[in-house]
Amino acid sequence: MKIVVLDGGTLNPGDLTWEGLKELGDTEIYDRTPDEQVIERAKDADVILTNKVVIDREVMDQLPNLKYISVLATGYNIIDTDAARERDIPVSNIPTYGTQSVAQMVMAHVLNHTQHVAYHAKTVADGRWSRSDEWCYWDYPMIELHGLTMGVVGFGRIGRAVGAVAQAFGMKIVAFDEYVSDPGDPEVDMVSFEDLLKQSDIVTFHTPLTPETEGMLNADALKLMKSSAFVVNTSRGPVIDNAALAEALNNEQIAGAGLDVLDVEPPPIDHPLLGAKNCYITPHISWATRSARARLMQTTVDNVAAFIEGEPQNVVN
């Protein structure tokens, strides 16, 4: 069994081990693979593991030995699943590894906007407090979360985890998910997307990228939000119209945004959100705690082992 990992560098920058995978077959591991080298590196592979390297119909046509694709992530839009199904190639993903880590990142972005800890700590380090005539100071409004409303868009595993953490801060939760009618919690109200935008002080996105969700937070939707509200996105960048969000921030139509994903990654230097007012962007790292990556690694090994045993798991096609 020939196993090729095309871009394992982000999953394992050196603090995890590939030994579990190597025990399953002849394994070649690349930290990253440019598009022009995909065919050469994968030409003899029975199994391909990929995080962001695209495996489309054209690539599959040139890989006659390919029997199985395992995505090193939850999202699998980089794979032409229809083309794989036509070739009887199962495609598996990793569905649950990062739930708590993503929920933690959501609250990090929320607390960044409400407390500005890093900013104020920097002013202290720069000597401002030592020079101050007052015993305290703050340059941004301090916002208490208790009693505010968080709107959770997409109420699956991650959305529910985020809601639970927010409830611990005393927040009210409203949620929108066109496939969920029962939130499983009497304290959570399921509402329309429009009503969620109108009611929420913080709107956080946890929905997959589909034709229906792409650009769902657009210019018209942003107009429904409170001027004091914040947007957080740790799901997929294109669920938000990034240009419309930048305009809303620069016009102070909403109060701010905390984003771990963008519509283009890495973003071009002139991306409209990079210079937008009160917009804080992290480089797609909500999944990247060591604990989450260790779970991802173990599930990857389990996925490949299940395929070899003839019972593939976590199949998305």
CB burial of 9-36 (b: ≥16 within 10 Å; e: otherwise) equals ebbbeeebebeebeeeeebebbeebeee
* Residue 10 to residues 2, 7, 84, 132, Cα–Cα distance (Å): 22, 7, 25, 44
117-151 pLDDT, tens per residue?
A: 999 999 999 999 999 999 999 999 999 999 999 99
Can you tell me whether residue 96 is helix, strand or coil? coil
* Residue 286 to residues 3, 13, 15, 224, Cα–Cα distance (Å): 28, 16, 17, 28
Per CATH, the number for 2-97+290-308 is 3.40.50.720
The type of residue at 215 is G
CB-based contact 222:245 (threshold 8 Å): yes
Residue percentage of the chain with pLDDT more than 90 = 96
pLDDT recorded at residue 96: 86
153-212 pLDDT, tens per residue?
A: 999 999 999 999 999 999 999 999 999 989 999 999 999 999 999 999 999 999 988 899
Any idea where the domains of the chain sit in the sequence? 2-97+290-308, 99-281
Give catalytic status of residue 295 as yes or no. Answer: no
The type of residue at 225 is M
Average pLDDT over residues 63-67: 97
Say which residue the tokens 């997959």 belong to.
208
Cα end-to-end distance, the chain, whole Å: 22
Residue closest to 3 by CA, chosen among 33, 48, 34: 48
Q: How big is the CA angle at 117 (ends 112 and 119), to the nearest 5 degrees?
A: 95
CB-based contact 31:7 (threshold 8 Å): yes
Residue closest to 100 by CA, chosen among 290, 282, 257, 278: 290
256-272 pLDDT, tens per residue?
A: 999 999 999 999 999 99
Domain 99-281: top CATH class: alpha beta
Q: What's this model's pTM, rounded to 2 decimal places? A: 0.90
Rama region for 252: left / alpha / beta (φ>0; ψ in -120 to 50; rest): left
Give catalytic status of residue 265 as yes or no. Answer: yes
- In the chain, count H helices and then E strands: 12, 12
Other beta carbons less than 10 A from residue 146's beta carbon: 8
Give catalytic status of residue 236 as yes or no. Answer: yes
User: Which residue among the candidates 160, 236, 271, 293 is catalytic per the annotation?
Assistant: 236
286-311 pLDDT, tens per residue?
A: 999 999 999 999 999 999 999 999 99
* Whole-angstrom distance, CA of residue 220 vs CA of residue 218: 6
Is it true that 2-97+290-308 and 99-281 share their CATH fold?
A: yes
Phi then psi for residue 163, to 5 deg, are -60, -40
Check pLDDT > 90 for residue 75.
no
CB-based contact 105:285 (threshold 8 Å): yes
